[in-house]
Chain A
Amino acid sequence: MVFSLAYHFLQDRALAEDVTQEVFLQLFREQEGLATDQHVRYWLRKVASHRCIDAARRRKIRPRLALDEIREPAARESFHDPMLNETLRKLVATLPEAPRMIMVLRYQEDMDPTEIADAVGMPVATVKSHLHRSLTMLREKMQRLKKESVR
C-alpha cells in the first residue's frame, strides 16, 4: 500500500522505496501509540501522503509532461489496456501535488472524500473540488490525445 501510493504519486521507484522505508521506520518508532490494524492503516495512509508530498517538494520532481511525450492510447481500448493505464498514470503524474495525492488515494486506496480530507488535512469540499477538476482535466486530455491519434 505505502510503496504503491508513493510510486503512483512520485513516479520514481527509488524515491518511492525511500519514502516507504521512512514511513515504516516512523511506524516502528511510533508503533506503541497505534492500537488496532485499522488505526495502523489510517496512520500509514496519512503519514505516507505527507511524506510523499514532502519528498516531491524537496526534490522538485513534479513531472511536467507535454502531451507529445505521452503515447496516445490504442485506438480500440480493451478493458485491460496497458497503454491506456500507462497514459492515465502519466497524466495523473502531471497533476499538482495535492490533487495528485487525492487521485491516488481515491483510485488506489478507494478512499472516500471524507477519509481523504482527513488524511491530507483538507476540507472535504476542497477534496471533492480537486477530484472533480482532476477528472475533467484527465477527460479533456484523453480526448485531445484521441483526436491527435486520429489525425
Chain B
Amino acid sequence: MNIDDDANLERSLRQALARIEPGRDFSAISYSRPRVIFWPPSRTMLALAAGLVLLLLVPIGMLQYQARQRRGEQAREQLVTALRITESKLQKTRQMVVRELNRRNTL
C-alpha cells in the first residue's frame, strides 16, 4: 500500500484509530464506583448546605437583635428628654406661683 497517497493514508488512519473497547472489568468497576463516589459528596453537600444556612441565620438574628436594642435605646432617650422638659416647665410654673404669692403677701 502506498501511504503517500492521501486516500490510503486516510484509510490507514481510520484503521489505526478504529474504536476500541475498554477492558471487561471496566464496566463492573464503573458501576460499582458511583455508589462510593456519589454518597459522600451528597452527604457532604447536605452538611455544607446546613452550615451555610446556619452561617446566614446567625448574622441575620444578630442584626435583628441589634436593631431592636437600638430602637429601645432611642425610645428611652426620648422619654428622658420629655421628662426633663416637663420637670423644667413645672419648676418655672412653681416659681411663678411662689413669686405671685409673695407679691400678694407684701401688699
Contact = CB atoms under 8 A, between A and B. Distances in A.
A85 B4 contact: no
In terms of DSSP, what is the predominant structure of the interface of chain B?
helix
Given A3-B21, A3-B26, A17-B22, A139 B13 contact: no
Interface residues of B, number: 24
B14 to A, nearest CB: 5
Nearest to B11: A79
Most buried by A among B1, B16, B26: B16
Contact of B34 (A28, A77, A92, A135): A28
Contacts of A86: 16
Contact of B26 (A17, A25, A80, A146): A17
Given A85-B12, A135-B6, A25 B19 contact: no
A79 B1 contact: yes
Nearest to A21: B30
Given A13-B23, A24-B30, A28-B34, A80 B6 contact: no
B94 to A, nearest CB: 83
Nearest to A5: B19
14 contacts: A1-B19, A3-B21, A4-B19, A8-B20, A21-B33, A81-B1, A86-B16, A89-B17, A92-B16, A103-B17, A107-B10, A108-B18, A110-B14, A139-B9
